[in-house]
A and B are shown apart, each in its own frame.
Chain A
Amino acid sequence: MGFALIEKGRDVNKQILTGNQAVALGALRASVKVVTGYPGTPSTGCLTHLLTLDLPDRHVEWSSNEKVAFEIASAAAWAGHRALCTMKMSGLNVAYDALISIAYSGTNGGLVIYVADDPGVSAGMPEQDSRGFALMSQLPMLEPATLAEAYKLTQTAFELSEKTGSPVFVRLTTAVAVGHALVETEEAIAPKEIEPILERDIARYTKAGSKICLDQHQALIDRLNHARRIIHKMGLNRVKLSKEPGGLGIISVGATSTYMNEALALCSRLDASEASSSRVSVLSVRTTIPFPSEEVKQLLGHCETILVLEELEPHVEQAVYVAAQQLGFTGSIIGKLDGTLSPIGEYGVAEVLKGLGACGLSPVASGGKPQAAHNEPQVPNVPAPQESATLILASNAGAGRPPTVVGPNGEPSSTVLSSAAMAAPRPITVCAGCPHRGTYLAIEAAIKQAGFAKDDVMVTGDIGCTILGMNPPFNLIWNEVSMGTSISLAQGYVHAGLKTPVIATMGDSTFFHGGIPGLINAIQHQVPLTLVVMDNGWTSMTGMQVNAGTDDAFQSEGRRVDIEAVIRGLGPDRVEVVDPFDLNATTKALTRCLAEPQGVKVVLAQRECAIQTKRRGIVAEYTTIDPDKCILCKQCLRVTGCPALSVAQDSIAIDASLCNGCGLCTEFCPTGALSNSRAEGGAK
């Protein structure tokens, strides 16, 4: 998170920010009035940061899902205010139903959608390229390469949105979104004091009828072309042609631009500005949509070879092929479509070097000692001749390299790859004292008590911490698709004719986000299954955001929605409310559900997230070990996998700083060595 305003001038603050915070502060500078979003790594930090600030006259909220969030922001913008909506790439899938319609209607106030893509997949979920959504909805999408650009282009996005009447995307990728760097920011500007626009115009705000929709389609195309002209005039997509025509032209999109500069410097020992004066021309693209056709035309008219550097799908590259065909360009185009680069994974210097290598450019040895290289300004640490082997590409690589050279295609050598594989596996599991641990153990026990084998019982999974039951020691959950999907998947398995009970699991935030329609469907169609809602009161995996079910004490302006009342209100055939730390009662409740062949059964397992109780210092009990009684059978560890337990010299040890006294481990100790005691005063 950002910190330390060290230099506060009259107008400019210099501070270390994350990309997420830069977007947030950019929006404040741009007079944003309404900010909505749903948590999702790596985008979460934007709205989280705004919630830490005192923002009179602005509304900031975590909405129940991305579609709801986007719809709220859209109406605020239709009413003339500036609005921002934040989400991860998967959230855009949810918001898209509303988004495509609002794209056709356009906007009045600036409407900006901040979406964070995750090439390389730091946090799970498909490695999708959100630019595809911008292409389909024909909405401009700005792609900052650095944090400073994230701050500036967020403001540009609001201006562009108002000038063109189009919603505008700002897209960051993980390393820029969660990366930290020094950013100069200016004071926030309060939202405009305007009367909300009330405009009755069904031709614009409805989709009722073919004429309306066809006209809106034309208006949509016109807006994107308008945006293209504005963006061209602003010079957002910067083209620098080499002095002499011919040579290589590099198109770098978004975050790849910075790595391009670094790789070029390694190849030429020149910085990018000098490089461009030689035989290399560059086009730094910040908008895949609208495609910078004028700038690409310049590059194609000037260069012999084009290298396209873009992460994930070849959207720009495909458009370059089209432009090349239209212009009669006869040179070669290097990128993904010729097989040089991969659409998979995050790009860094290595991928750029691979692309440059295909164009005949390779890193140059410095000729000096490595330490000397450090002292040269602006020149990266170019390795000494012997070391440079680690960066030289296939075309130049000879025999007799040190054992750590990269492979022929720039991939790590087998030594390094196999060394990473030598590391001990470290599967992620639930925290010490996590209530989900009790639920997993109870589900497992109930399956057994109901007379079934674990491998015969489908337990569908959902997004968030609840999915951790897929990992050891539980190995309980079979699948994970999207928010609220577990309940619908379970119905499909029932209809497919499974003879064994089907169980669906999801968390509280997922339930509110997307789980309710699936549960309604199960009840309506009387699908025999058991839904386990693991309600820990927070949207936990993304770092503890408030959701509809979070306690009143943490609801900033609203109030808690009673999840039990919602479930009972839908009318399932059985509702059991349990405390997952009460393993016996939870197991019995689940066993009753599994024993009932018909109807929809819901088990609501309620217990607050252990991280949150620990932060507030609520510890009712603590667990101790009697080393004399411990026979080191490790049963506690084997069953619970609790991170607070470890194997010491002669007995199990408990890390008191982690243990919150859930007592689950005591249930599995055959000798009574583990026991729970009430903490001093009950709670501290």
Chain B
Amino acid sequence: MIACDIVLIGVGGQGIVTLGDLIGRAALAANVPVSYVPTKGMAQRGGFVKVEIRLGRETVGPRVPEHGADLVVSMERSEALKGLRFVRPNSRFILYDHVWEPTGVMLGKDDYPSQESVLETMSQALSDVLVLNPDNRPIFDDRPVAANVFTLGAMFSTPILRESIDPRTMESVLLHRWPKASEANLAAFHSGVQEGDATEYGFSQFSGGRKS
């Protein structure tokens, strides 16, 4: 059994908690031991959200150790900085580079970190960073595909997660979870996997440099 610790980070409303549930269901279907704990704080929407997932361990404490995650995923640029306490130099980090400005930033009262400064800080902590450009999401039924399922697809381009859970199991969970939206969700998932496969990890090509 492969042990894999994952931390998902984002903002309430992005579907982070749903991602945790989906991976939980897939682990259950794949007969992989799973523990996951969402942290939502008090906000219904717009606040910091985190899910800690531990795959492949029979009995385990729910919290991922600091500097202990195999994979950290942030669906928001600024919040990504809060994920760095979980990484070690050989962790993988996926940044879905969405910018969700808090009101204080929109009003010019607070600063919002630039992509450059976020990635510069990250580069001090680890080397395997995959930056997903939200604009690269394909269109399905006249709309960009769901951001969280797209990100889920990119997560399944990482070897560690693929070895824990077969991507086909994840697909079948998606199909059963929302039968009416199955086509749209599969499109989102597959495009995420492709995007992950096609994009180089690392800091030299920040805006999603593609493998030739």
Contacts and interface: CB of A to CB of B under 8 A. Distances in A.
Chains A and B are bound partners: yes
Interface of A: 3-4, 6, 16, 41, 122-124, 146-148, 175-176, 178-182, 255, 258-259, 261-262, 346, 348-350, 370-371, 374-375, 377-381, 383-384, 386-387, 390-391, 402-404, 406, 412, 415-417, 419-420, 422-429, 431-432, 472-473, 541, 611, 634, 637-638, 641, 643, 646-647, 658
Counting chain B CB atoms within 10 Å of each CB, the highest count among A6, A426, A541 belongs to A426
Interface in B38-59: 38-39, 41-48, 57-59
B107 A349 contact: no
A638 B105 CA distance: 11
Contacts of A415: 121, 124-125
Contacts of A634: 106-107
Nearest to B112: A424
Interface in B1-27: 1-5, 11, 20-21, 24-25
Given A178-B38, A425-B102, 15 more contacts: A3-B25, A123-B41, A180-B20, A346-B63, A349-B65, A378-B1, A406-B66, A416-B84, A424-B111, A426-B48, A426-B102, A428-B42, A541-B42, A637-B103, A643-B46
A348 B38 contact: no
A16 B28 contact: yes
Contacts of B70: 374, 381
Interface string B70-81: 100000001101
Given A258-B59, A424-B113, A175 B37 contact: yes
Most buried by A among B41, B61, B81, B118: B61
A422 B81 contact: yes
Contacts of A181: 34-36, 62
Contacts of A424: 78, 101-102, 104-105, 110-113
Given A262-B60, A426-B102, A643-B45, A403 B125 contact: yes
A3 B21 contact: yes
A416 B36 contact: no
10 contacts: A16-B25, A371-B159, A374-B3, A391-B67, A424-B110, A425-B102, A426-B79, A428-B47, A429-B103, A431-B44
Contacts of A175: 37, 61-63
Contacts of A429: 46, 103
A4 B28 contact: yes
Nearest to B111: A424
Interface stretch (B85-93, B183-191, B195-203): B85-93
Given A180-B37, A423-B78, A425-B110, A259 B2 contact: no
B179 to A, nearest CB: 14
A403 B35 CA distance: 30
A402 B89 contact: yes
Contacts of B41: 122-123, 428
The 10 closest A-B pairs by CB, nearest first: A349-B65, A258-B61, A179-B37, A179-B62, A390-B67, A175-B62, A428-B43, A259-B61, A348-B63, A181-B35
Contacts of A422: 78, 81, 113, 117-118, 121
B29 interface: yes
B46 A426 contact: yes
A417 B61 CA distance: 24
A379 B78 CA distance: 33
Nearest to B2: A374
B160 interface: yes
B44 A404 contact: no
A431 B42 CA distance: 11
Contacts, number: 190
Nearest to B66: A350
B82 A404 contact: no
A54 B159 CA distance: 44
A611 B61 contact: no
A124 B42 contact: yes
Contact of A386 (B11, B89, B117): B89
Contact of B89 (A146, A180, A404): A404
Contact of A637 (B38, B39, B106): B106
Interface in B141-188: 159-160, 163
A679 to B, nearest CB: 22
Given A16-B24, A349-B68, A374-B4, A423 B59 contact: no
B4 to A, nearest CB: 7
Contacts of A370: 90
A123 B102 contact: no
A420 B85 contact: yes
A431 B67 contact: no
Given A420-B85, A424-B102, A182 B121 contact: no
B209 interface: no
Given A122-B41, A261-B59, A349-B68, A180 B110 contact: no
Contacts of A346: 63
Nearest to A180: B36
A375 B101 CA distance: 41
A427 B36 contact: no
A387 B36 CA distance: 25
A381 B60 contact: no
A371 B82 CA distance: 25
B125 A404 contact: yes
B33 interface: yes
Contacts of A611: 44
A420 B103 CA distance: 19
A374 B124 CA distance: 24
Contacts of A431: 44-45
A261 B33 CA distance: 17
A647 B100 CA distance: 11
Contacts of B21: 3
Given A406-B66, A420-B82, A646-B101, A255 B61 contact: yes
A353 B21 CA distance: 30
Contacts of B45: 431-432, 643, 658
Contacts of A423: 78-79, 81-82, 113
A16 B110 CA distance: 41
A374 B125 CA distance: 21
A378 B2 CA distance: 8
Nearest to A425: B110
Contacts of A378: 1, 57-58
B31 to A, nearest CB: 9
Contact of A16 (B34, B59, B60): B34
A390 B107 CA distance: 39
Contact of A646 (B34, B48, B106): B106
A179 B79 contact: no
Contacts of B68: 349, 380-381
Contacts of A541: 42
Contacts of A427: 102, 104
B90 A387 contact: yes
Given A412-B66, A426-B102, A419 B25 contact: no
Given A4-B28, A180-B37, A350 B65 contact: yes
